[in-house]
């Protein structure tokens, strides 16, 4: 048998181990599965994706259309156009009670890339640097820590503590190798909100570790129901070491527009270099939409929050009325995270993932489960996540 040269080459082609080890965002995996079933005619209600179901406010859409018609279709500076950077700086200043300079602001295609950029900026492969992240939590924190050659260290968020930040556990796990602490408030998937007192305790602990930065994921900062939002950056001496992340996806119902932004004076120029190497810049016309979103009328955004709060109350009360379900009331975002340990026993399944599949197969309801948000915390039971970015009727 004669083996062609190109066949020999195929035998030597391999995929890197870091790619094979890289995690994913399972909401999109489940969504693909759900959409496949729907395309085959199944009638499924999907509560698995964190995507507002409202249209983008008209004034924002009009601003983007005007930008297109005005020829705003070329490259921009990697950090963003001056008008958008100023709009973001003003927005951070008024919503976080801090003074933010436009030069400290960087925009890019969604908030997710900034997780990679920040970890890349503050950790060095081979040095044993650690990234502390919440568990359960947004899965990209852990996957990007691994991808950037750092060690991801999970901080458990416990139901008995309302899924809020565990200060004692934090103090045990932070050390001289810790280079980044990830905070997410309001939190995905539990909807918990870190209190001002806890933020002060975190800041006090961090004083002993001057090499540790903070990545404060505040993408749900404007979707909060019962208390005011507090950022750790507003605490004395914390702004300089905190990268604040926010964006347009959740507050303005613009997930497909892909526009996120951060602020940190020291890291902005370095993160801008990451943007230049990765995406070049955020879409030009979307940056003009950002200017209008942040500077324009806020009526529609406020209506969305009011609607989300009403939906929260409906879904939490409804879940708690079901035998085997127990659900805490989230303080922000648009996720319910019920404990389904008893429901798993009642339905004869071994864990939340089997329960999720059973729910999809038999009830035609799509949700996410514990494994999609990290390893199970000891003695915490099983949970699933409902995104109540669906109509009241569907809930």
Annotate 102-166 with DSSP letters as a single string. GGGEEEESSSTHHHHHHHHHH--TTTT-EEEEEES--HHHHHHHHHTTPEEEEEE--GGGTT---
Q: Where do the CATH 3.90.1150.10 domains begin and end in the chain?
A: 5-54+299-387
Q: Where do the CATH 3.40.640.10 domains begin and end in the chain?
A: 58-295
Whole-number pLDDT of residue 10: 59
- Give strand ranges (E) for 191-282: 213-217, 242-247, 260-263
Whole-number pLDDT of residue 26: 67
Average pLDDT of the chain is 94
Whole-number pLDDT of residue 17: 83
C-alpha 232/C-alpha 242 separation (Å) is 8
Count other Cβ atoms within 10 Å, centred on residue 65.
Answer: 13
Whole-number pLDDT of residue 166: 87
DSSP 223: -
The second-level CATH assignment, the architecture, of 58-295 is: 3-Layer(aba) Sandwich (3.40)
Q: 226-245 burial, b for 16+ CB within 10 Å, e for fewer?
A: eeebbbbbbbeebbebbbbb
Question: 24 pLDDT exceeds 80?
Answer: no
Whole-number pLDDT of residue 227: 86
Q: How many residues does this entry show for the chain?
A: 395
| Secondary structure of residue 78 in the 3-state scheme | coil
Question: 1 pLDDT exceeds 60?
Answer: no
C-alpha 206/C-alpha 197 separation (Å) is 14
Question: 3 pLDDT exceeds 60?
Answer: no
Whole-number pLDDT of residue 393: 95
Question: 8 pLDDT exceeds 60?
Answer: no
* CATH match for 5-54+299-387 among 3.40.50.2020, 3.90.1150.10, 2.30.29.30, 3.40.47.10: 3.90.1150.10
Count other Cβ atoms within 10 Å, centred on residue 272.
Answer: 20
Whole-number pLDDT of residue 27: 66
Question: 36 pLDDT exceeds 70?
Answer: yes
Rounded mean pLDDT, 42-67 = 95
Q: Which residues contact 17 (CB under 8 A, 6 or more apart)?
A: none
Whole-number pLDDT of residue 34: 81
Percent of the chain with pLDDT over 70: 96
Cis? peptide before 189, omega within 30° of 0: yes
Q: Confidence band (pLDDT; 50, 70, 90) for 28?
A: confident
Whole-number pLDDT of residue 20: 82
Q: pLDDT digits over 249-302, tens only?
A: 999 999 999 999 999 999 999 999 999 999 999 999 999 999 999 999 999 999
Kindly report the pTM of this predicted structure.
Answer: 0.93
DSSP 77: -
Q: pLDDT digits over 181-197, tens only?
A: 999 999 999 999 999 99
**Positive or negative torsion for Cα 114, 120, 122, 126:** positive
Question: 80 pLDDT exceeds 90?
Answer: yes
Tokens read off for 224: 């909060």
Question: 385 pLDDT exceeds 80?
Answer: yes
Q: pLDDT digits over 94-119, tens only?
A: 999 999 999 999 999 999 999 999 99
Rounded mean pLDDT, 106-135 = 97
Question: 4 pLDDT exceeds 80?
Answer: no
DSSP 56: P
């Amino acid at each position: 048998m004669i083996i062609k040269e190109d066949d020999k080459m195929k035998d030597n082609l391999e995929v890197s181990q870091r790619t094979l080890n890289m995690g994913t965002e399972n909401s999109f995996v489940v969504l693909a599965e759900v959409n496949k079933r729907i395309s085959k005619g199944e009638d499924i209600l999907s509560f698995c994706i964190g995507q507002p179901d409202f249209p983008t406010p008209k004034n924002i859409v009009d601003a983007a259309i005007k930008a297109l018609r005005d020829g705003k279709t070329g490259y921009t500076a990697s950090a963003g156009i001056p008008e958008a950077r100023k709009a973001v700086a003003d927005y951070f200043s008024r919503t976080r009670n801090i003074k933010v300079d436009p030069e400290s602001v960087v925009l890019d295609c969604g908030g997710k890339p900034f997780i990679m950029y920040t970890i890349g900026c503050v950790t060095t492969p081979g040095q044993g640097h650690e990234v502390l992240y919440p568990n359960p939590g947004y899965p990209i924190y852990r996957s990007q820590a691994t991808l950037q050659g750092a060690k991801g260290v999970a901080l458990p968020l416990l139901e008995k503590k309302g899924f809020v930040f565990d200060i004692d556990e934090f103090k045990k796990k932070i050390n001289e190798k810790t280079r980044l602490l990830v905070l997410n408030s309001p939190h995905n998937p539990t909807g918990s909100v870190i209190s001002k007192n806890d933020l002060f305790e975190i800041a006090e602990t961090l004083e002993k570790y001057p090499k540790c930065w903070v990545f404060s994921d505040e993408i749900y900062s404007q979707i909060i129901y019962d208390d005011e939002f507090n950022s750790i950056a507003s605490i004395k001496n914390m702004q300089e070491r905190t990268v604040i992340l926010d964006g347009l996806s959740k507050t303005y119902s613009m997930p497909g527009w892909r526009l996120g932004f951060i602020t940190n004076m020291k890291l902005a120029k370095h993160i801008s270099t990451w943007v230049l190497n990765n995406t070049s810049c955020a879409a030009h016309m979307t940056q003009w939409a950002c200017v209008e979103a942040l500077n324009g009328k806020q009526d529609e955004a406020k209506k969305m929050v009011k609607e989300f709060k009403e939906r929260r109350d409906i879904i939490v009360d409804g879940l708690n009325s079901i035998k085997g379900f127990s659900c805490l009331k989230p303080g922000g975002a648009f996720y319910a995270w019920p404990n389904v340990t008893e429901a798993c026993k009642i339905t004869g399944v071994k864990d939340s993932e089997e329960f999720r599949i059973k729910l999809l197969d038999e009830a035609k309801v799509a949700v996410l489960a514990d494994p999609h948000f990290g390893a199970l915390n000891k003695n915490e039971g099983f949970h699933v996540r409902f995104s109540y970015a669906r109509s009241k009727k569907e809930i």
